[in-house]
Structure 1
């Protein structure tokens, strides 16, 4: 053979192919011998998942029809536990006289909670509505994170916020943090959308990990020791440049 079918070989191949197609068509929707595709079980029911999320946040609806999380919910207790552990670690590092200590905080669902706003919209994201909510300082503070930030600031720790919000939201974001009682930050960093940052090689096309880890590397280059990095997404924490990364729970969405 020279790499081409002979006449009989070609006929046999065609017959085999037709037979395979007929076999596949005979049982639609089911795997057959030689099928390498992955057949998945039915996913979780979306309405049930939304109800589970609401229970996790202790969600309730007020007389005006608006949703609210509660401070004694499973989510709130877990956040308090994790932030408490983080504060204990920070205190130990301060006792050890760590050089130029700093902490880095994400904002959405780390420093400010978006469950109420999201549940009001049946967990459907609306960018314009989000911008308005930020302008209105409508996202309530995550109390344990606010307490950590103020305690850290009072003990000489530099507090930096590194958020995935676009840079044009800098003014309203800073105002919202002040309204909610956070300390004046040593720095507030937003995702570059107009002006490239010289310390970010990815310019205006950074993904979350490149932007946030690159910003932390920049802060370290300024002499800061980032003792804690708090976020609610794996992408908030990936890439290193912090002694301890703390992942707060967020079952509502994922940011790669």
Structure 2
């Protein structure tokens, strides 16, 4: 614009417009919102829920109890669609690529630890009937599901499991399930194709009440004390992987349905 004089009316107009339409100010509104309120500001559900899932999978979210109500359809679509399978396959491929770099000693002490639920076995049929993580966890109904011994194998994990066995790894299964579920757990694993593990470790009486991260760390330490070298550890929870006596490499499978500390 050639003349600066014509800017003045426009500036006055804009100033009046802002003063009449933005009171209280946008800055003031945002400052008055708490963090939780800000998270509830309207954003399209899919981008919001994708970002929420990233926060969960990277453990940035910390402790959480149920999925956001607005993400129910998102989690259902993710878990029952191709994306969950693709993500699980990527984890398996990365795991196998690392496993192939391990120099095996040939003494049976090179080992890999697997969690079971949402790592080897999928409880998706149970969670389909219980809101994909939108409902509070009910131990009694979940135990009834476990007793059926009908959980399908995670296809990518079964393939990885068999590949590791072929490479000569000694395989340990470390689960938060109780000792009283040993028979049904073994049956379920065998029925869907998991065979040849060295030891299935479940919570005993002395393990009850311990946080998962403590219980699983203690069991890994016992394996190390026996002389086993834990090269890899696969689990769907950070509490499967963190703590002490950790593996050389840990591999986190996707699970946006629940969190175990």
The TM-score with structure 1 as length reference comes to 0.71
State the shift of 1:212 in Å: 0.4
SS at structure 2 position matched to 1:229: strand
Q: 1:116 to 1:214 in 2, by over 3 A?
A: same
Question: Which of residues 54, 58, 71 is equivalent to 1:49?
Answer: 71
How do 1:145-184 residues align onto structure 2 when only pairs under 5 Å count? 145-184=157-196
**1:101 Cα deviation from its structure 2 partner:** 1.0
Q: Which secondary structure does the structure 2 equivalent of 1:40 belong to?
A: helix
5+ unaligned residues in a row in structure 2: which ranges?
1-27, 46-67
Structure 1 residues not aligned, in runs of 5+: 1-30, 60-69, 197-202
In 1, distance between residues paired with 2:150 and 2:138?
Answer: 14
| Higher helix residue share | 2
What's the offset of the Cα at 1:47?
4.2
TM-score by length of 2: 0.70
The aligned residue for residue 209 of structure 1 is 213
Does structure 2 retain, via aligned residues, the 8 Å contact 1:98–1:225? no
Distance (whole Å) between structure 2 residues aligned to residue 112 and residue 174 of structure 1: 11
- RMSD over equivalenced CA pairs, Å: 2.6
Q: Equivalent residue for 1:104?
A: 113
Whose RCO is larger (CA < 8 A, sep 6+)? 2
Q: Does 1:250 align with 2:252?
A: no
* C-alpha deviation, 1:150, in angstroms: 1.6
Deviation at 1:219, TM superposition (A): 0.6
Q: SS of the residue aligned with 2:93?
A: helix
Q: 1:170 to 1:43 in 2, by over 3 A?
A: farther
Aligned residue pairs, count: 203
Q: Is the 8 A contact 1:178 1:184 kept in 2?
A: no
